[in-house]
Chain A
């Protein structure tokens, strides 16, 4: 049986879809069968980030409502052959999904994939709750800023109360993925530090993704960052995060600030 990961955050724009695509691709590149599922019904984007928007015929809603078979709706990536996408519907809303429909589809996916990575919509409403409901593992995506951290805290509370696992008395595995991190700005106090975020959220850190221009470029091209700029720092960070999720002990290095020469000279005065 496969493992179901939900990528969630509460807040919008922190990098859930980018992270879903990157982690999904990184896991698939290790040879595991991976399906990324877009739960953002009505505002789908995962198909764009994966470059599959021109191949969508059936979607998640069609499968959940029994209008199409899962095999008809799965879109296989052309670059990594063990990576599949189940797209969301753009013309429907979150009410089109029922608990029973989602449970059945997730059950079918678990039976044929090693990893099912669910891209949650932003917010704490029905769509986000359904995305997390049947998950075994959660990746909480957070930016180093106060509003994102507070929203993540709220989501962690929901992960501990509103998931099937939580209701059954067990716990969902939660991991923190810190995205858009800039060590220099963090050092200057313009961003929260890794320690600040960890202190507030107190869940294990699975990766720190540095702020990177490559990410926007990759999204616009329609390729996960791990494929488009595999050697970039962000891609490496995602690949390592995926390995940690798979249970491999990979040491996590704290990104150090790279001080330019002038700030080293005048750093003392500035402080």
Chain B
């Protein structure tokens, strides 16, 4: 009997943008750990089960000390899920993966309640910028929020809003950029770059009154100005994703 040749099923690879705490260890490490301990003594399980990233830019240590540091953190129930700005020698299969391009946000975005100002002598350490009170659990996903921008977005300006839609009442110039977790609405000419749906889900769309975009990206599909059909140039359009590709249609 012949072997049956089955259809290979595709693996769905998604992408997520999440918030994580960023800790920045400073030399001398013993002193930094002591400060951390002092702070943890007030909120012992603050980092337990929370995503933590190490920001290694200010630290140049050999591999052995790095492993020790990870061990020390693990003993304090801090699990390092990734590192930023690390030396290339501190990368390996049994070490946390390297990430880059992280955006700085206020730590209270990770919490339910607003963080009170830190008033410890250790105010210099990044950990101290987190609240001193015992921390609540990670916030449940917030309902989508819309960000409104009145006026033109000029070349070089950028709006990043991962929590929902972005509405621009004005023009988005060449060289300007909008990154939205949800959809993007531009009531004017879109001449710059628009990234919609970066928070996942294929529902996001881009709407604009006048299509002259340099790049349209919806979810994981994108199209550059060059690859866009010129018949859409200057028209009001909607861009969505269909079959893994950006689909543009004229709104009339």
Q: Which residues of A contact B (CB under 8 A)?
A: 42-44, 53-57, 65-67, 90-91
User: Nearest 6 A-B pairs (CB), nearest first?
Assistant: A54-B225, A90-B175, A91-B158, A54-B226, A55-B226, A91-B177
User: Is B124 on the interface with A (CB-CB < 8 A)?
Assistant: no
Expressed in whole angstroms, the Cα–Cα distance for A261 and B217 within the complex equals 61
* Contact between A56 and B214, CB atoms less than 8 A apart: yes
List of B residues within 8 angstroms of A66 by Cβ: 98, 100
What residue of chain A has the Cβ atom nearest to residue B212's Cβ?
A: A54
* Contact between A54 and B224, CB atoms less than 8 A apart: yes
Expressed in whole angstroms, the Cα–Cα distance for A107 and B232 within the complex equals 41
Expressed in whole angstroms, the Cα–Cα distance for A165 and B47 within the complex equals 47
User: Is B157 on the interface with A (CB-CB < 8 A)?
Assistant: yes
* Contact between A91 and B175, CB atoms less than 8 A apart: yes
B132 CB, min distance to chain A CBs, angstroms: 32
* Contact between A90 and B155, CB atoms less than 8 A apart: yes
Expressed in whole angstroms, the Cα–Cα distance for A146 and B53 within the complex equals 53
Q: Contacts A55-B225, A56-B224; is A91 near B176 (CB within 8 Å)?
A: yes
User: Is B186 on the interface with A (CB-CB < 8 A)?
Assistant: no
A97 CB, min distance to chain B CBs, angstroms: 13
Q: A55-B226, A91-B177 are in contact. List 4 more A-B contacts (CB 8 A).
A: A54-B226, A67-B101, A90-B156, A91-B175
B133 CB, min distance to chain A CBs, angstroms: 35
Q: Name 12 A/B residue pairs within 8 A (Cβ), A-sorted.
A: A43-B156, A54-B214, A54-B224, A56-B214, A56-B224, A65-B101, A66-B98, A67-B100, A90-B156, A91-B157, A91-B158, A91-B175
Expressed in whole angstroms, the Cα–Cα distance for A54 and B224 within the complex equals 6
Which residues between 151 and 165 of chain B lie within 8 Å of chain A, taking CB atoms? 155-158
* Contact between A44 and B100, CB atoms less than 8 A apart: no
Q: Contacts A42-B156, A44-B175; is A56 near B215 (CB within 8 Å)?
A: yes
Expressed in whole angstroms, the Cα–Cα distance for A54 and B98 within the complex equals 32
B159 CB, min distance to chain A CBs, angstroms: 10
* Contact between B156 and A91, CB atoms less than 8 A apart: yes
Q: Contacts A42-B156, A91-B157; is A53 near B174 (CB within 8 Å)?
A: yes
What residue of chain A has the Cβ atom nearest to residue B228's Cβ?
A: A54
Expressed in whole angstroms, the Cα–Cα distance for A65 and B98 within the complex equals 11
Expressed in whole angstroms, the Cα–Cα distance for A44 and B157 within the complex equals 13
Of B155, B175, B177, B224, most buried by chain A (CB within 10 Å of CB) is B175
User: Is B32 on the interface with A (CB-CB < 8 A)?
Assistant: no
List of B residues within 8 angstroms of A43 by Cβ: 156
Expressed in whole angstroms, the Cα–Cα distance for A12 and B175 within the complex equals 20
Expressed in whole angstroms, the Cα–Cα distance for A66 and B177 within the complex equals 20
Expressed in whole angstroms, the Cα–Cα distance for A57 and B248 within the complex equals 18
Expressed in whole angstroms, the Cα–Cα distance for A54 and B158 within the complex equals 18
Expressed in whole angstroms, the Cα–Cα distance for A54 and B193 within the complex equals 10
B212 CB, min distance to chain A CBs, angstroms: 10
Of A42, A44, A54, A66, most buried by chain B (CB within 10 Å of CB) is A54
Expressed in whole angstroms, the Cα–Cα distance for A53 and B157 within the complex equals 17
Expressed in whole angstroms, the Cα–Cα distance for A55 and B213 within the complex equals 11
**Cβ 8 A contact of B100, one of A54, A57, A65, A91:** A65
Q: Contacts A67-B101, A90-B175, A91-B177; is A57 near B156 (CB within 8 Å)?
A: no
Expressed in whole angstroms, the Cα–Cα distance for A44 and B156 within the complex equals 9
Expressed in whole angstroms, the Cα–Cα distance for A26 and B33 within the complex equals 58
Expressed in whole angstroms, the Cα–Cα distance for A44 and B192 within the complex equals 13
Expressed in whole angstroms, the Cα–Cα distance for A207 and B156 within the complex equals 34
What residue of chain B has the Cβ atom nearest to residue A43's Cβ?
A: B156
